[in-house]
A and B are shown apart, each in its own frame.
Chain A
Amino acid sequence: MNAGEVLRVAWQGVTVNKPRSVLTTLGILIGVAAVIILVAVGTGSSKAVQDQISRLGSNTLTVTASSTAAGGRGGAAGGLFFPGGGGGGDTTSQNATQSRTPEITMEDARAIAEASETDEASAVLGVAPVVSASSVTAAYDGASHSVGTFTGSTPAYLLIDNSVVAEGRSFTDSEYTAHRRVALVGTSVAEDLVGSDVSDIIGEQVSFNGITFEVVGVLEAKGSAGPQDQDDRVIAPATAVQDTLAGYGPIGSIEIKATSADTVDLAQSQVETILDGRHGVTAADRDYDVQNASSILDAATSSNRTFTVLLGAVAAISLLVGGIGVMNIMLVTVTERTREIGIRKAIGARRGDIVGQFLAEAVLLSLFGGAVGVVVGLVGSHFTIVGVQPVVAPYSVVLAFGVAVVIGLVFGLYPANRAASLRPIDAMRYE
């Protein structure tokens, strides 16, 4: 018998009892669709996190004071490790203070900014110190708004943060150095204070915890990332914020932008060299952390991968159960058609002919279930599932379909062999 005939006979076998074949196929169908959809959900959530992080810009670095550093280095040591350079005597005394409690200062930011003009930090494009003020309430003309994040920084911050001024203007370097009380507000803040026409707020004097700032611009809406409203923020010159809301102590962090995504690692090592020198520390006892977006991305991606594998494993189990369903039905079919098997053997069917016939039938069932499962999986992946827009992973489609067919082969083998090993005389007597 050639392949076409084997398939034709198998097709006949499958269509004899249609409801049964459909139900058997359903097991495989659900398994394949589940694998595709669940892996797509995993991939989708991982992509959502990646998008969020890459919106920050993959070539940014954040320097923060380390919460785990040992500290306690003496001032003398600081002096030894920092023989002049960036800041002179003032820096040395600062350094001695820093060594006791890990701190990042304005001077650190200034030193990196100065180095970025030279070869010392050639990979650094921009540097912005970040001063944060907490629990700030904005008040204007009787309206008030509790600000989510109040950031003091330099004009360079907008570039590093990928923020754009939608209405009005940004503050300037001269306003920064002049400690001018000007501010940029996010759309959420503006809407709460002046209503939907956010440009009305430009030029107005808004009080933040009683300190009056002139609003010069409105930031372009960024939308929300999960529960966090990214437009609920105010940005002002760090100098003015230190004067009024934050004080002159250590700063929250330093945001650094590398010249390109490829130079992020170089920028990081250059920044570390500068800060190691200023803080009098080595790689072993650093009192600060430099995080880059790609390392955060890596951590998020690997945790998401675990999640995806877990989802896929659950789906794979349902596929396995579907395969057992195929085996079950094939065993029933073999029993039902024992007499037919006997007749076929009596007129000269070889063992291989019978194995082939029943194996083809099992594979046909799983093939059909797999194909429809792929369609259902692809269609199902178009819908948002528990807040995640699934992204179909091509490998999962190929894998699920392939496994479905292999399952048909493997689980069809036992029933097929059982059919083939029947003795014709016993098979024909079977009623």
Chain B
Amino acid sequence: MSDPVIRVERLTKVYGHGEAEVHALAGVDLVVAQREYLAVMGASGSGKSTLMNVLGCLDTGSSGRYLLDGVDVRRLVDRQLSYVRNRKIGFIFQSFNLIPRTTALRNVELPLAYAGVPVAERRERALAALDRVGLADRVKHLPSELSGGQQQRVAVARAIVTDPVLLLADEPTGALDSHSTADVLALFGELADEGRTLVVITHEDAVARHAQRIIGMSDGLIVSDTRSLEAV
């Protein structure tokens, strides 16, 4: 079997100094293999969002090692980190984070534009990704003209369009109604079945239950690591 997508060793993240020191991550060890669908659970303040930011190369840990697709992220300079975020990771956020006043199609094209993909190919791949999430008929719509569920699906299309090794979702259903939540979770299930590696951060059992593996976090440490019954 090839390299794991994520290998984290004794990862810590400390905010503040002296008395005010807060250990958001207090030494996390985690290995996520390819094609895994993983949910990270925990109450707010458990360190799960910090873990997500470090895994997504939006932030760096204070100590420890993090290998993404076999590459030690701490050794990368700013430009290389941009490349990693662009090619290796697809983000899905709680608040969708689409670029305002920009059509769904252009939003999905944007990572490809930063990657330097030619315009024609970019358009083709973006349309395919939007089609994949079931929004082929909404490509010219602005984010403000789409429902929450639709916006989140555009965000998913934007995340998968570069064909990254890792999809990271931070509370992806936190801002959605139950119907849209079901849509998005179904989409995640399909993506997992296609063989994509997914890490979903959530505090909802109902969301976590869809994953093959659930990790529980508390006070900056992993306290549980269970394989879902459904997955077995």
Query: What 1/0 mask marks residues of chain A from 1 to 27 whose CB sits below 8 Å from any chain B CB?
Result: 100010000001000100000000000
Contact of B115 among A12, A344, A348, A423 (CB under 8 A): A348
Task: List residues of chain A with CB within 8 A of the CB of B93.
Answer: 428
A386 sits at the interface (CB 8 A): no
Contact of A350 among B101, B102, B114 (CB under 8 A): B114
Task: List residues of chain B with CB within 8 A of the CB of A12.
Answer: 101-102
Contact of B58 among A16, A353, A428 (CB under 8 A): A428
Contact of A347 among B78, B86, B102, B116 (CB under 8 A): B86
- Asked if B101 and A348 sit within 8 Å, CB to CB, the answer is no
- Asked if A348 and B58 sit within 8 Å, CB to CB, the answer is no
- Asked if A344 and B53 sit within 8 Å, CB to CB, the answer is no
Task: List residues of chain A with CB within 8 A of the CB of B99.
Answer: 340, 343-344
The verdict on A349 contacting B97 (CB below 8 Å), with A12-B102, A424-B58 known, is no
Task: List residues of chain B with CB within 8 A of the CB of A425.
Answer: 53, 58-59
Task: List residues of chain A with CB within 8 A of the CB of B162.
Answer: 348
Contact of A346 among B85, B87, B113, B115 (CB under 8 A): B85
Contact residues on A (Cβ < 8 Å of other chain), bracket: 20 to 34
A257 sits at the interface (CB 8 A): no
- Asked if A347 and B114 sit within 8 Å, CB to CB, the answer is yes
Query: What 1/0 mask marks residues of chain B from 88 to 118 whose CB sits below 8 Å from any chain A CB?
Result: 0001010001111110000000110111100
B56 sits at the interface (CB 8 A): yes
Per the CB 8 Å criterion, the residue count for chain B at the interface is 27
The verdict on A349 contacting B102 (CB below 8 Å), with A424-B58, A425-B59 known, is no
A425, B110: Cα distance in complex, Å: 19
A382 sits at the interface (CB 8 A): no
Task: List residues of chain A with CB within 8 A of the CB of B110.
Answer: 344, 347
Q: How far is the CB of B61 from chain A (nearest CB, A)?
A: 12
The verdict on A348 contacting B85 (CB below 8 Å), with A353-B114, A425-B53, A428-B58 known, is yes
Contact of B85 among A1, A345, A423, A428 (CB under 8 A): A345
Task: List residues of chain B with CB within 8 A of the CB of A351.
Answer: 78-79, 82
Q: Give the interface of A toward B (CB within 8 A).
A: 1, 5, 12, 16, 339-340, 343-351, 353, 423-425, 428
Q: What are 10 A-B contacts defined by CB distance under 8 Å?
A: A1-B113, A12-B101, A343-B99, A344-B114, A346-B91, A347-B158, A348-B114, A348-B162, A425-B59, A428-B58
A349, B113: Cα distance in complex, Å: 9
A1, B59: Cα distance in complex, Å: 25
Q: Give the interface of B toward A (CB within 8 A).
A: 53, 56, 58-59, 78-79, 82-83, 85-87, 91, 93, 97-102, 110-111, 113-116, 158, 162
The verdict on A348 contacting B87 (CB below 8 Å), with A1-B114, A340-B99 known, is yes
Q: How far is the CB of B197 from chain A (nearest CB, A)?
A: 18
- Asked if A343 and B97 sit within 8 Å, CB to CB, the answer is yes
A351, B82: Cα distance in complex, Å: 8
Contact of B97 among A1, A5, A346, A423 (CB under 8 A): A346
Task: List residues of chain A with CB within 8 A of the CB of B87.
Answer: 348
Task: List residues of chain A with CB within 8 A of the CB of B53.
Answer: 425
Q: How far is the CB of A6 from chain B (nearest CB, A)?
A: 10
Query: Nearest A residue to B85 by beta-carbon distance?
Result: A348
